[in-house]
A and B are shown apart, each in its own frame.
Chain A
Amino acid sequence: MPFDVQWHDDHSAPNQPLDDAAIDESLLSDDLLELAEQLGDDARRLQSCYPAEKSVNVAKEAAQALVSPVQASPAKAPADHSSSRKRWRMSAMVFGSGSACLLIACFALFTAWQTSSTGKPAPDATVFINKTLPDQPSVEFLASDNQTEGADRLSNARRHTAEKASPDSRVTPVSAPALIGIGNATGPQLEAFYDYLEDEDQTVRLSI
């Protein structure tokens, strides 16, 4: 039995100095302990590759804008409740957060309308697709300036794409990560995706 009442007895003592988790994990079998150690190692390696420094500034600005609009420019930040809500909506949209659902729905409806009126969706302003190797199943992601910024744009682009997909649109719900992951979007789906995203002015490139 992996967990017994011993832990509870120990824990009930005041100012118990023992590491509670260590007590229980000492009861695990060797192979499970090894798995636990490997989980910790893997987490530390993963986290060392993608530190949070860049993202924290965005979060701080957004949180600050949310809680204290009066500290921003007076012309832009009246302190009434409705403006605060608008500011929240704008920040949430910038992050691609789920809280922007309403805006996303409107956007999808607009896109569907535009598709039906022009026969072709508007190009995405974020991504340029390099079509020189259309049969290559694996997809390589390149950012012309730096990896992080390019990755951010790609992330935005895929959300943008997912948001625009609708049953009424010719655009089938293919997203950039899907293409990157396995490259199995072929034929009409891929063509629709190309049509959708093509914009040569941008700096993020996907080689397919």
Chain B
Amino acid sequence: MADRPAINIQEATEEHFARIHRAALVLSGNPWDADDLAQETFMVFASQADRFEGRSSLYTWLYGILLNLDRRERRRYSMRRNKLRILWEDEPEQQQTAPAAETAIEVAEWKNSLWAYVSKLPDGQRQALVLRFSESMKYDEIAEVLDCPLGTVKSRIFHGLDGLRRLMEKDGESLRSIPLFPNQDQVNAV
């Protein structure tokens, strides 16, 4: 049985943090959550580095951690949102508007990009699209990260793109009508 590869946490963080942060940014839609997601990915990595067996490349392993954390955060967010809605509806004698806490923080660049539509897709499709088109990973690498068969990756990417097109059509958007980046004032505004 081969020895586990020795991992230098500092060097690995230095080498891979930027790409993990990049993916986290596209997944979360804002740099603050991206910071948290990426940092937590490396916290998990540091605490579990001795479990890395070297059967996959380190960065695909890190992507796997990132996507698990992303799924967990979205699940928590959804549960919290439902709980808050219940609290809100039970509140007597209140001026009722929509529960404001449902609104996630977003940045204009993300909101005006196709990734905002991607965020509405099912988790599997969303993550496959991020790995393929944001991270330019090959299909077999994506299959490794998502721990699913190659055919499933292909299917998720195809159906993800198709779903994206349908979402845009539903909103009356065409590709060319999606604005490019806003001016700097809008960039600075949250």
Contacts and interface: CB of A to CB of B under 8 A. Distances in A.
Contact of B154 (A3, A50, A152): A3
Q: Count chain A CB atoms within 10 A of each CB in B13, B91, B95, B102 and give the residue with the most.
A: B13
Contacts of B100: 174-175, 178-179, 181-182, 184-185, 189
A39 B158 contact: no
Given A98-B40, A167-B87, A63 B101 contact: no
Contact of B25 (A46, A98, A151, A177): A46
Given A42-B114, A162-B101, A178-B103, A31 B22 contact: no
Given A45-B109, A55-B38, A151-B190, A39 B129 contact: yes
Interface in B155-177: 155, 157-158, 161-162, 164-165, 175
B58 interface: no
Main secondary structure, interface of B, reads helix
Q: Count chain A CB atoms within 10 A of each CB in B95, B130, B157 and give the residue with the most.
A: B157
Interface in A100-149: 140-141, 147
Interface in A39-92: 39-40, 42-43, 45-47, 49-52, 55-56, 58-60, 62-64, 66-67, 88, 91-92
Interface residues of A, number: 72
Contacts of A178: 100-103
Given A46-B25, A59-B39, A186-B97, A141 B190 contact: yes
Interface string A180-201: 1110111111000000000000
B146 interface: no
Given A42-B115, A88-B43, A187-B94, 8 more contacts: A35-B165, A39-B118, A55-B34, A56-B21, A60-B10, A97-B39, A140-B189, A172-B88
Interface of A: 2-3, 7-8, 11, 19-21, 24, 28, 31-32, 34-36, 38-40, 42-43, 45-47, 49-52, 55-56, 58-60, 62-64, 66-67, 88, 91-92, 95-99, 140-141, 147, 151-152, 154-155, 158, 162, 167, 172-182, 184-189
7 contacts: A3-B151, A3-B155, A39-B164, A88-B43, A91-B43, A96-B36, A147-B188
